[in-house]
Amino acid sequence: MIRFAIPIACVASLVTLVDSVCAEDKDGWVALFNGKDLTGWKIHPTPHKDIGEITEKKADGKVTSFEAMVRGKKVPLWRVEDGTIVGGGPPSHLFSERDDYSDFHFRVEAKINDKGNSGQYFRTAFGPGFPTGYEAQINATHGDVVKTGSLYPDSRTTLKNYRDKITVLNTAPHKPDEFFVQEVIAIGPKITILVNGKQTIEWEDPEFRYKKGHFALQAHDPGSIMTFRKIEVKEIRK
């Protein structure tokens, strides 16, 4: 199992920034998940047609879960459980509060259930449905042939024209229900993806379509359960 270090403690700011904003470690990495709550993350109020009113559950004044009415029943969409972020239910996305990430090294330690589908979005817009932005796919055994390690060829955009250059088909580099590390390095139009330390994609977007935006985690469908144990970023400043 591959692991990586996260900052040990968050820095309390005198101007009360957000207490999920952690100090950089010696290598410049910042943890975007504090292991306790969803501070620093948000959900769109109308993420999908099947999702009704969204409510928050809190502990010690911090949001620990987003729940919603789905066909008359309250279900969790995103929640903190045993030091991880777990997503499920109808399609929704958990967005970073910040919307100005441009050049960075963005990595997650995650797992996906058998037949599950998720994604690690970057430079994405905040919105309902499946947001506009780049998506590093998370998929071990889902019917979609685009597996983990791929840059998703969104059919709504001209990314579909580069499918043969940005996808890894048929076989995922990990098993379902197995934690793995997926890394995205985005510098200008150049995008590199690695899974468990092995490069799967290195591609330069000739259209450089998305220059900055949110990070987002995807819940793809009711049968998918995705778990994120660590989420980190190291911004690259020119």
Residue 4 has pLDDT above 70, yes or no: no
Q: How far apart are the C-alpha atoms of 129 and 114, rounded to whole Å?
A: 23
Q: How far apart are the C-alpha atoms of 32 and 128, rounded to whole Å?
A: 22
pLDDT, one tens digit per residue, over 187-225 is 999 999 999 999 999 999 999 999 999 999 999 999 999
For residues 99 and 196, the answer to whether their CB atoms sit within 8 Å is no
pLDDT, one tens digit per residue, over 145-183 is 999 999 999 999 999 999 999 998 889 999 999 999 999
The ranges assigned to domains in the chain are 83-235
The owner of tokens 């008359």 is 72
Query: E-assigned strands of the chain?
Result: 30-31, 41-43, 54-59, 62-70, 73-81, 84-87, 92-96, 104-112, 118-124, 134-138, 180-187, 190-195, 198-204, 214-219, 226-235
Strand pairing report for 190-195 and 198-204: antiparallel
- Tell me which fold the domain 83-235 belongs to: Jelly Rolls (2.60.120)
Q: How far apart are the C-alpha atoms of 79 and 99, rounded to whole Å?
A: 22
HSE toward the beta carbon, residue 37, CA cutoff 13 A: 15
